[in-house]
Amino acid sequence: MADSSSSKTATLSIDGQSYDLPMYSPTAGPDVIDIRKLYAQAGVFTYDPGYTSTASCDSTITFIDGDKGELLHRGYPIDQLASKSHYLEVCYLLLYGELPSAAQLETFENTITRHTMIHEQMHNFFRGFRRDAHPMATMVGVVGAMSAFYHDSTDITDAHEREVASHRLIAKMPTIAAMAYKYSIGQPFVYPRNDLPYAANFLHMCFAVPAEEYVVDPILSRAMDRIFTLHADHEQNASTSTVRLASSSGANPFACIAAGIACLWGPAHGGANQACLQMLREIGTPDRIPEFLARAKDKDDPFRLMGFGHRVYKNFDPRAKVMKQSADEVLDLLGIEDNPTLQVAKELEKQALDDDYFVDRKLFPNVDFYSGIILEAMQFPMSMFTPIFAVGRTVGWISQWKEMLGDPQNKIGRPRQLYLGSTQRDYVDIENR
């Protein structure tokens, strides 16, 4: 929590009047200026659309240094976690702050595994949607409805109930996402299997059918586990901030996570890898790549090279290296000879990395570029890209939610505004307008 005894201050001058504002130094990142008493002292607000220069909370979970291309979970670099660890171990780390012992991990994995089934009556919710409903619409509705079934884990003031809700959401989100997919393609639901690891279980629920046995390839399972791991948390992004804002009102955990899913649905957030695949399909064939690279360099052309560069990472995306490794493994396993989209992706990656224009500007392929390639190769439809993102991000949302509820400075979110509308005016009767 922010240290109220900080001796550093910043001075703000307004019309000759000076105001001293406390400053705090984090363990990593830039100093922050505490403006909480600014309105009371000076009668002014700050103006920061998008909150890009505002720290809305203090946190010990995730740190990003975009200039260095650094992403740390509880201090551990993401590339180390994605290469040496696996998703449920990263879940434990995010939730509890430390890497688990072997015994702790086994207990945690068993707990998650035995929470994967959903209430049988919830199947009726899926059948209430049209078959052509987007899986994200289904997930928003079903996750929000969980509070109607799991009354014993909605009291946010009870530490045990918060823990149960956390485990349930991490365990059931793959089941809900897989069921949304199965429903959208007209296939029967496949129940979770307790003998399969987390990512393999998700793939089995998505692709198995009752008529024959389906064995999950370990390369595909590992690639899916890495996708979940690399999307587990990303600091105070739009959907995480939405979860925090919703929870600040005292809403139950299922409602808060449903709000995060709704925000993630936006194409500027969770839909980035889908936009990348749409671009690859627009290019169509490898021989057209030079044309589109030229368009990407033309400032007057609205075309943008999706999946290259990143708003946060100004150097390189630290998640991309591990995701590229998985993409190469998956493509080697499944082949790209018959898939024109993947042929374009591989050639576009090669030509862009050989082009000084993109190299000099550090416009390297990011995690969305490679995750889109992997999911396309696995034959997931683009409508499932964002639901898969939501499965991985659930633990980040929950970790941030739990941290916020334990913060003594927690209060309901209430941003201010720069009002530019009409000042007070009198009502005019309709016959006189």
Positive/negative CA dihedral, 326, 193, 208, 138: negative
Q: Helix, strand or coil for residue 65?
A: strand
Pure H helices in 185-300: 198-207, 218-230, 238-247, 253-264, 272-283, 289-297
- Sign of the CA dihedral running 417, 264, 253, 237: negative
Mark whether 151 is an active-site residue. no
Q: Yes or no: say if 374 and 388 are a contact pair by the CB < 8 Å rule.
A: no
Residue 234, C-beta contacts closer than 8 angstroms, at least 6 positions apart = 62, 64, 71, 240, 312, 393, 396
First CA to last CA across the chain, in angstroms? 56
β-strand pairing of 32-33 with 70-73: unpaired
Say whether 368 is catalytic. Answer: yes
Instruction: Kindly state the DSSP code that residue 288 receives in the 8-state scheme.
Output: G
Q: Hey, is 211 helix, strand or coil? A: coil
Sign of CA dihedral 293, 294, 295, 300: positive
Nearest CA among 258, 228, 227, 229 for reference residue 370: 227
CB 82 within 8 A of CB 95: no
Q: What SS3 state is found at 63?
A: strand
Under 8 Å CB-to-CB from 162, ≥6 apart: which residues? 153, 156, 253, 402, 405
Q: How far is CA 62 from the centre of its chain?
A: 13
Q: Is 30 helix (H, G, I), strand (E, B) or coil?
A: coil
**CA–CA dist 395, 400 (Å, integer):** 9
Query: One of 115, 233, 310, 317 is an active-site residue; which one?
Result: 310
From 368, 407, 426, 429, active-site residue: 368
Per DSSP (E only), the strands in 96-250 are: none
Catalytic residue set = 310, 368
